[in-house]
C-alpha cells in the first residue's frame, strides 16, 4: 500500500462521517423547516371568496359603527365648547343669528366626526384581522381589478338605463357579484341597442 493510497483512505474515512453528519443535520433542519412551515400554512389557510366577502362586510360594519361613534363624539365635544360660550343675542355671528350659527357648528362637527370614522375603523379592522390581513389585501386588489375590468362606461347613462354600482361597493357575496356582472352586461346591451 503506497503512501498516496493510505492518505486517500484516511481522507475518505474522515470525510464520510462528516458528510453523514452534515447530511443528518441538513435532513433534520429541513424536517424542522417543513414542520414549522406546515404549521404556519395550517394557521394561514388561503382566503376563499366567501370569506373575503364576509371580511369585507365586517370591515364596512366596523367603519359605519366607528363613523357613528365619532360623529356623536364630535357633536358632544363641540357642544361642550359652545355651551360654555357667552353669546349676546343682539349681535350676529358672521351675519347670522347666534342660535343658527351654533346649530350649524354642531352639525358641521358631527359631519367631520362622521368623516373621521373610517380612519379609526380601518385601524380597528386591521388589528382585529391581523392574521388574515395580507391575504385579504391581495384578494381585495384582485377583486377591485375585476371590478375595473368589468364595469361599464357611464357616458350613456339615462333614467331608463342607470349605471350599475360603478365602484362595486354594494357587492357583498358571490351571488351579488354575479348579479352585478349580469347588470353590467344588460347595461351594455341596452346602450348599444338604443344609441
What's the confidence (pLDDT) of residue 46? 84
Range with top average pLDDT, 11-25, 29-43, 169-183: 169-183
pLDDT band of 11, cuts 50, 70, 90? very low
**Domain locations in the chain as residue ranges:** 1-30, 48-133, 151-195
Neighbours of 164 (CB within 10 A): 20
Q: Following DSSP, what letter does each residue of 104-135 receive, concatenated?
A: HHHHHHHHHHHHHHHHHHHHHHHHHTTTTHHH
What pairs with residue 96 in β-bridges?
93
Is pLDDT above 80 for 137? Answer: yes
Candidates 51, 59, 52; CA nearest to 141 is: 52
Is pLDDT above 90 for 136? Answer: yes
Q: Report yes or no on whether pTM surpasses 0.95.
A: no
Q: Identify the H or E element spanning 14.
A: helix 3-43
Candidates 150, 139, 136; CA nearest to 178 is: 150
Candidates 128, 130, 182, 193; CA nearest to 158 is: 193
Is pLDDT above 60 for 148? Answer: yes
Lowest mean pLDDT among 86-90, 96-100, 120-124, 166-170: 86-90
Amino acid at each position: 500500500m503506497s503512501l498516496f493510497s493510505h492518505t486517500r483512505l484516511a481522507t475518505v474515512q474522515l470525510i464520510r462521517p462528516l458528510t453523514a453528519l452534515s447530511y443528518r443535520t441538513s435532513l433534520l433542519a429541513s424536517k424542522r423547516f417543513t414542520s414549522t412551515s406546515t404549521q404556519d400554512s395550517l394557521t394561514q389557510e388561503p382566503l376563499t371568496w366567501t370569506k373575503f366577502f364576509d371580511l369585507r362586510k365586517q370591515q364596512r360594519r366596523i367603519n359605519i359603527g366607528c363613523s357613528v361613534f365619532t360623529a356623536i363624539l364630535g357633536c358632544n365635544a363641540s357642544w361642550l365648547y359652545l355651551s360654555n360660550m357667552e353669546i349676546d343675542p343682539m349681535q350676529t355671528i358672521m351675519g347670522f343669528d347666534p342660535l343658527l350659527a351654533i346649530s350649524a357648528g354642531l352639525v358641521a362637527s358631527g359631519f367631520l366626526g362622521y368623516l373621521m370614522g373610517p380612519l379609526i375603523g380601518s385601524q380597528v379592522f386591521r388589528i382585529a384581522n391581523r392574521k388574515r390581513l395580507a391575504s385579504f389585501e391581495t384578494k381585495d386588489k384582485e377583486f377591485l381589478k375585476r371590478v375595473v375590468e368589468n364595469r361599464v362606461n357611464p357616458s350613456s347613462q339615462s333614467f331608463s338605463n342607470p349605471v350599475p354600482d360603478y365602484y362595486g361597493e354594494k357587492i357583498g357575496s358571490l351571488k351579488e357579484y354575479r348579479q352585478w356582472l349580469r347588470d353590467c352586461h344588460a347595461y351594455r346591451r341596452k346602450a348599444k341597442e338604443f344609441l
